[in-house]
Amino acid sequence: MIEEGKPAPDFELHADDGRTVKLSDFRGRPVVLYFYPKDDTPGCSAQACGIRDSYSEFQARGAEVLGISVDDETSHQAFREKYNLPFTLLADPNAEAGKAYGVTQDDKPWFERSTFVIDAEGNVAKELRRVDPLLHADQVLEALPS
């Protein structure tokens, strides 16, 4: 179970560019870890573009943004290129990270739209469940330290 103030579950997943990424690689800076249902769908595209459009604010706060879905690296690469997304997308086809963060859904093969702000020490600073894709970027920026 995810709890604010407790260590965030570490994971190792493949990125859209072929790299292997571990959450623990980002210790020392905040991480915005957002789980979303599917690449290139209306809600997920609006959510990703909202982050893209505010990306300079995320950078100014030193935050790394990682988007995670069950889609594979090829799908992520196409999604990232289509919308010119400046952040990393991670493939979790076996839902290992999704299960660790409690965002899997029994009746659906995709993740619940949820975000976790991880502080520089690797602890969950904020948990945002079932976020509105149109309000997501602003909600996350409110949760990040200035």
CATH of the domain at 135: 3.40.30.10
pTM confidence score:
0.94
Asked if residue 2 belongs to a domain, the reply is no
Asked if residue 95 belongs to a domain, the reply is yes
Instruction: Identify the three-state secondary structure at position 146.
Output: coil
Asked if residue 53 belongs to a domain, the reply is yes
- Alpha carbon distances (Å) from 29 to 36, 38, 41: 22, 27, 30
Average pLDDT, 10 consecutive residues per value, the chain (146 residues): 91 95 95 95 94 95 96 95 97 94 86 94 93 91 85
Give the pLDDT score at 111.
Answer: 92
**Residues written for the chain:** 146
Look up the domain containing 132 and give its range. 12-143
Cβ neighbours, 10 Å, residue 55: 16
Whether 53 and 136 have beta carbons less than 8 Å apart is answered as no
Asked if residue 75 belongs to a domain, the reply is yes
Q: Annotated active-site positions, please? A: 44
Structurally, the chain folds into a number of domains equal to: 1
At 146, list the tokens: 């200035």
